[in-house]
Each structure stands twice: as structure tokens, then as C-alpha cells.
């Protein structure tokens, strides 16, 4: 069943939150300061079915995403920190807006219109998620906050020409909008004053049992409507091949328990990624309206997450590099498999691999990506 049913859980959640159907709200408040004294704000969006999302200005980050289980119990289903300062002192990718280019660019270089550009390198020889000071580490400004029937917040960031090595000045906005069905829509928009490349996404890590539940995500069931994926080399850069998932541990087309094959050392790709850290080629391709990119279900809590996107790929990361050294919300130690990322985006290293399409943005041809995190409950 691809659309879950709230039923009694919705009623219980409404009683817990005091929210009313059709009355989604947005509340702006202080969220502490960074170690250098910079003030951070957060906007909490609350829908009528018990789902709420807190977005903070540091990184335009989805800092918390709360939802009821099948018994109406509310839990935060995203990993991260309880305070803004910890996102700086103990950095990781916890729900931030990622840019200018999400995922990896081989060698930290690319060529555009015959000119070579060298990016900051923060993943050995490669550039990852925008470089050493990507959009995830910037303080965004709040442009607007609106109440229901859909509650929303829009944040903006100006990225100068040469930022992390990228050409052109880029004006970026991200809008989070929560409705009463449990759908959090995220719109990324960017305009440039010269040719450049752009690939924006959100990098939330989910545990549908509730962050720090102790059960982890290896028992979650994942479905990805993708007949092919892009294999990677030892540096996790796509080789350029489009490989069929059928008959492999990468076949999630009919649903698969995440932990079933995540440690299958007989598959060289699992070894390369220490599990899953791969781009899946969505069968629907690029679309004007968001289509399903992934469906994640926790059979214990009943919570279901559907990820939708207008982009051609989704990166599935099974939390392989969580090694117990990061302490997150409520003092929880995050270990391998404690969170799953499902990142809709263009393919990794597209600027260096023309067969993957184009990430080009230029004046008069702005960038837009709409993605959706849709939470519900299955009986």
C-alpha cells in the first residue's frame, strides 16, 4: 500500500499537538548562537495531523521532523543536534540544504565553456557537497514566514562568484512548506549572473522508529523505482556505467529490507561503499511534477516516508560512516546504520560526465528542484 492511512493515529496526534485540520502554523523563534556569537533562528511548521518540522537558518536545515506512530506517539525521525552550536563544533550532514553541488565531483575539478575550474576538496581528492564551506555551513536569512492552510518559510543565500571555486554569482532560495497531510515540500531555486553548475538537495538522515530509538534502520523496508544505478570506483565516483539492478543487492524495485544485504561482501559495490552509498537512476527521469523516488517503512512504528522529486536520481546512503564518535540529540551516540539518507538530485559528477545530462545554469535559465518528504502511518 503506497499511501498509508492515519486513522486513529491522526486523532491522537491532533490531541497531543492541539492543532486543527486546515490550520497549519509557522512560528519563528531564536535558536541560540554559534561559537562566534552569530545568532540563529528557527521556524517551526506544524500541521493539523501531528507532523511538525523545525527549520533553522544555519544551513537552511531541517533540524527536526516530528510525526506520530500508529498509536499516536510523537517522535523526531531525523538525526542531528539539539542546539545550533553543535552543528559547527561537531559537523556532519544532518538535514542541511546542500550546494552548490550535492554529492561528489571527481578531482574537485570540472570544465565549463572550455575553462577549467578547481573546487575546494574535502573528500580526499574530490569535492563533496559544495566543498569545505558549502551551503550547509552558511547562515541563511529568513525572507518570509506564512501560516496555513500550508505553513511555510523561505530562506535565502547569496553565493559570490568564485565561492568554493564555482563560477558566477548565485542567488538561492529554499522554501519549506508543510500541509495537513504530512507532506513537507521543499523548493530550491537559484539564479546566476553567468554560466555555472548547480545541484541542490536536502541531506536529512532518517530513523522512522524515532531518532536514537536504538533499533536503527536496518529493519526498515525500502522501495526505489529504479531499474538501474550508477556503480562507483573506490573513491565513490561513478564509473559512467549504468548497471541493471535486477538480480543484484541493488534491486529495491519491489521493496527490500535495508539490512538484508548491506554487509554482503560478495558484491564489490557494497565493499566500495561500506554498504549503500549509490545513485539510483529513477525510471521516471526528470519530471515537471514530483514523482516517487523512494518509500521507506518502519514495520515497528508503522511510520512511512515517501520521497518525491523532479530530479532524475536519488542517492541512497545507509549510514555507513556513522562510527559511534558523533553524539547527537538527547546525548545519543550515532552508529553505523542508525540513519538513512535519501537525497534526490542530479547524478554525482555530472559536470565531468556528459552522458549523465547537464547541471548547467545560466542567466535566463534558472535552476529549480522540488522535492517532498511525505510522512504517514501504515496499519
Cα dihedral 349, 175, 61, 104 in deg (nearest 10):
0
Burial code (b: 16+ CB inside 10 Å, e: under 16) for 166-187 equals: bbbbbebbbbbbbbbbbbbbbb
Predicted confidence at residue 214, as pLDDT, reads 85
Active-site pick, 41, 81, 129, 203 = 203
Are the C-beta atoms of residues 205 and 319 closer than 8 Å to each other?
yes
Q: State yes or no: 330 annotated in a binding site.
A: no
Strand partners, 303: 377
- Residue 205 located in a structural domain: yes
Query: Against a cut of 0.85, is the pTM above it?
Result: yes
Strand partners, 56: 42, 61
Burial code (b: 16+ CB inside 10 Å, e: under 16) for 199-231 equals: bbbbbbbbbbbbbbbebbbbbbbbbbbbebbbb
Predicted confidence at residue 1, as pLDDT, reads 39
- Residue 231 located in a structural domain: yes
DSSP state, 265? T
d(CA 327, CA 329): 7
Predicted confidence at residue 48, as pLDDT, reads 86
Task: Report the candidate in 176, 188, 187 with the shortest Cα–Cα distance to residue 150.
Answer: 176
d(CA 47, CA 184): 10
d(CA 358, CA 355): 8
- Residue 51 located in a structural domain: yes
- Residue 1 located in a structural domain: no
306 belongs to the catalytic site: no
Cell 536514537 sits on residue: 212
- Residue 181 located in a structural domain: yes
d(CA 117, CA 168): 12
Domains in the chain, number: 1
Predicted confidence at residue 379, as pLDDT, reads 73
Predicted confidence at residue 22, as pLDDT, reads 57
- Residue 2 located in a structural domain: no
Q: State yes or no: 277 annotated in a binding site.
A: yes
d(CA 119, CA 106): 10
CB neighbours of residue 26 within 10 Å: 22
Cell 510523537 sits on residue: 74
- Residue 112 located in a structural domain: yes
CATH of the domain at 78: 2.70.98.10
Give me the tens of pLDDT residue by residue for the chain, a chain 379 residues long. 334 333 334 333 333 333 444 589 999 999 999 999 999 999 999 998 899 999 999 999 999 999 999 999 999 999 999 999 999 999 999 999 999 999 999 999 999 999 999 999 999 999 999 999 999 999 999 999 999 899 999 999 999 999 999 999 999 999 999 999 999 999 999 999 999 999 999 999 999 999 988 889 999 999 999 999 999 999 999 999 999 999 999 999 999 999 999 999 999 999 999 999 999 999 999 999 999 999 999 999 999 999 999 999 999 999 999 999 999 999 999 999 999 999 999 999 999 999 999 999 999 999 999 999 999 999 7
Q: State yes or no: 49 annotated in a binding site.
A: no
343 belongs to the catalytic site: yes
Task: Report the candidate in 344, 345, 325, 343 with the shortest Cα–Cα distance to residue 335.
Answer: 325
Bridge-based pairing of strands 39-46 and 52-56 is: antiparallel
- 189-108-369 Cα angle (round to 5): 15
- In which domain, by residue range, is 32 found? 7-377
Amino acid at each position: 500500500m503506497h499511501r498509508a492511512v492515519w486513522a486513529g493515529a491522526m486523532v491522537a496526534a491532533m490531541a497531543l499537538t492541539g492543532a486543527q485540520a486546515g490550520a497549519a502554523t509557522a512560528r519563528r523563534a531564536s535558536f541560540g548562537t554559534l561559537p562566534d556569537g552569530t545568532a540563529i533562528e528557527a521556524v517551526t511548521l506544524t500541521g493539523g495531523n501531528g507532523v511538525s518540522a523545525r527549520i533553522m537558518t544555519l544551513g537552511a536545515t531541517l533540524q527536526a521532523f516530528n510525526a506520530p506512530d500508529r498509536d499516536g506517539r510523537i517522535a523526531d525521525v531525523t538525526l542531528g543536534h539539539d542546539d545550533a552550536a553543535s552543528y559547527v563544533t561537531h559537523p556532519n550532514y544532518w538535514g542541511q540544504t546542500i550546494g552548490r553541488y550535492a554529492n561528489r565531483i571527481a578531482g574537485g575539478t570540472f570544465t565549463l565553456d572550455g575553462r577549467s575550474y578547481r573546487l575546494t576538496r574535502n573528500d580526499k581528492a574530490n569535492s563533496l557537497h559544495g566543498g569545505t564551506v558549502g551551503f550547509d555551513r552558511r547562515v541563511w536569512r529568513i525572507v518570509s514566514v506564512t501560516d496555513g492552510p500550508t505553513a511555510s518559510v523561505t530562506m535565502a543565500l547569496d553565493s559570490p562568484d568564485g565561492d568554493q571555486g564555482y563560477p558566477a554569482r548565485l542567488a538561492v532560495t529554499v522554501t519549506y512548506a508543510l500541509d495537513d497531510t504530512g507532506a513537507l515540500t521543499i523548493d530550491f531555486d537559484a539564479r546566476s549572473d553567468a554560466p555555472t553548475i548547480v545541484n541542490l538537495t536536502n541531506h536529512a538522515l532518517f530513523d522512522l522508529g524515532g531518532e536514537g530509538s536504538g533499533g536503527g534502520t536496518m529493519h526498515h523496508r525500502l522501495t526505489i523505482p529504479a531499474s538501474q544505478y550508477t556503480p562507483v570506483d573506490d573513491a565513490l565516483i561513478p564509473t559512467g556505467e549504468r548497471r541493471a539492478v535486477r538480480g543484484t543487492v541493488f534491486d529495491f524495485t519491489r521493496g527490500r529490507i535495508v539490512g538484508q544485504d548491506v554487509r554482503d561482501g560478495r558484491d564489490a559495490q557494497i565493499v566500495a561503499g561500506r554498504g549503500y552509498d549509490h545513485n539510483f537512476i529513477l525510471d521516471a527521469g526528470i519530471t515537471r511534477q514530483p514523482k516517487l523516488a523512494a518509500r521507506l517503512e518502519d514495520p515497528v512504528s508503522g511510520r512511512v516516508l515517501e520521497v518525491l522529486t523532479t530530479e532524475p536520481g536519488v542517492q541512497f546512503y545507509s549510514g555507513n560512516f556513522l562510527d559511534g564518535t558523533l553524539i547527537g540529540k538527547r546525548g545519543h551516540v550515532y552508529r553505523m546504520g542508525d540513519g538513512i539518507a535519501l537525497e534526490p538530485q542530479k547524478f554525482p559528477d555530472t559536470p565531468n560526465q556528459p552522458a549523465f545530462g547537464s547541471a548547467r545554469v545560466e542567466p535566463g535559465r534558472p535552476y529549480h528542484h522540488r522535492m517532498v518528504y511525505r510522512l504517514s502511518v501504515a496499519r
